[in-house]
Amino acid sequence: MSSILKIKLYGTSQCHKTQHYIKVLNEIGLPYSFLDVDINEDYAEELRNLYTNKKLNFPTLTLGTKKLRNPSDAELIKWIDQLK
């Protein structure tokens, strides 16, 4: 995988969908950063700035410059494969 591709997962540890993406990324074996918007206000602000409505739309994944809001597993894997 290209070292240019940086994966960030914005969510909360309490969110079952966020936990699902953690599991998927761990199973694939990809390095990623989990940014818990409940614990860190900087992460929350970073997430708000990804959206024009400034809401905490989580879970959101960013893969490089690509933003995915609550993608299906197939969509997530498709984008990972395209951006490798």
Residue 79: inside a domain, yes or no? yes
pLDDT of residue 41: 97
Task: Write down the residue that tokens 């984008």 correspond to.
Answer: 79
Whether the predicted pLDDT of 36 surpasses 70? yes
- Say if 32 falls within a structural domain: yes
Which CATH number does the domain housing residue 57 bear? 3.40.30.10
How many domains in the chain? 1
- Please state the rounded mean pLDDT for residues 23-52: 95
Cα 12 to Cα 29: distance, rounded to the nearest angstrom: 21
Q: Which helix (H) or strand (E) holds 16?
A: helix 16-28
Range(s) of the domain holding residue 35: 7-83
Instruction: Answer whether residue 44 is part of any domain.
Output: yes
pLDDT of residue 83: 78
